[in-house]
Every structure is written in C-alpha cells, then in structure tokens.
Structure 1
C-alpha cells in the first residue's frame, strides 16, 4: 500500500495519514479497540486520499474473502480446544 501524496492534502501533519493507513487492515477486520477504530473512522471521513486507499484495500479484502471457501473446525476439534482452554485457566 502506498502512502498518499501530501502535496495537495488538507491535513497539517502527514502523521495522521501514516497512522491511519498503517492500521487499515486491522480496521477492516475489526481487530482494533473501539476507541482506535473511531479515530481511524473519523480520519477516513475527513481525508479523501486515505478514504480512497481504504476503499481499494476493502475491495481487495472482499475479493480475497470471496475466493476462499468457508470452512469450520470439526466439532471434535472445537471441543478439545474448549477443554484445553478450561484446563489452563484452572
């Protein structure tokens, strides 16, 4: 992912864009804390160039997800993992 051209950009600092773009994938996959996601969301709404980059990354992620078959773990494996998680807590 390339950084936006800041020559005609409306922000005072490129740091906001660098921070936002460095977290785009985590934001797309709902892996950020809500407070961090809110900061990214606000930046994307205010910054046209970053929003363009976000839309491109979003489209690519959607295309990749469509190409991957959906599968889940066998119920026996899920039960074993659940049992291991309980035994480690105790």
Structure 2
C-alpha cells in the first residue's frame, strides 16, 4: 500500500462523490461507477453519513408521496399547467 492509500479524500473528491450519490441511490450509475462510489463510501465516514441521510430522506418522501393530492389542489395544478402550455404555444 502506498502512503496515498491512507490519506483522507480531499473536499473536492468528496464533492464529486456526493454529486453521484443521488444517481447511486436511484440506480442510475453503471456498474463501474457504482463500484467506485461503494469503495469511497466504505472508506469515508462523512460521505457515508450523507449517503445514509439522503437515502432516509428519499424513503420518507416516497412514503409521504403515496397519498393522492386533494382534488382542489390537483385542479389548481392542472389549470396552471394548461396556462403555461398556452403561453408556450402562443409565444
């Protein structure tokens, strides 16, 4: 093992991995990238904690979003979408 193997990752390296964590959680990375991200998470506790937090938040949001929106809110959103579509097609 070289001396570099024992060094903590730099802040910029961690930032790069943290950008990939969202894609990693959603299974949107290829296997090679997944392997690299897993290896980083295994060796970097701060990134692992952020990964766990992101995964927990995503899980809570997914559970919370299983309820349908109230019909009044749904109607307002659909109306707003139609208004935006009219503006786009009129432009």
Q: TM-score, normalised by structure 2?
A: 0.61
Map of 1:49 onto structure 2? 46
Unaligned runs of 5+ in 2: 1-6, 68-91
Map of 2:27 onto structure 1? 30
Question: Whose relative contact order is higher, 1 or 2, with alpha carbons under 8 Å and at least 6 apart?
Answer: 1
Q: Helix, strand or coil: the match of 1:51?
A: helix
Give the Å deviation of 1:12.
Answer: 4.6
Map of 1:79 onto structure 2? none
* RMSD (CA atoms): 1.7
**Does the C-alpha gap of structure 1 residues 23 and 12 become closer, same or farther in structure 2, counting only changes over 3 Å?**
closer
Instruction: Kindly provide the CA deviation profile for residues 58-85 of structure 1, in whole angstroms up to 9, marking residues without a partner as x.
Output: 1000001111228xxxxxxxxxxxxxxx
**Does the C-alpha gap of structure 1 residues 12 and 65 become closer, same or farther in structure 2, counting only changes over 3 Å?**
closer
1:75-86 matches, within 5 Å, as: none
Aligned residues: 61
Q: Helix, strand or coil: the match of 1:45?
A: helix
- Contact 1:27/1:37 (<8 A) preserved: yes
Q: Note if 1:62 corresponds to 2:36.
A: no
Mark the structure with the bigger radius of gyration. Answer: 2
Could you list the structure 1 runs, at least 4 aligned residues long, displaced by more than 3 angstroms after superposition: none
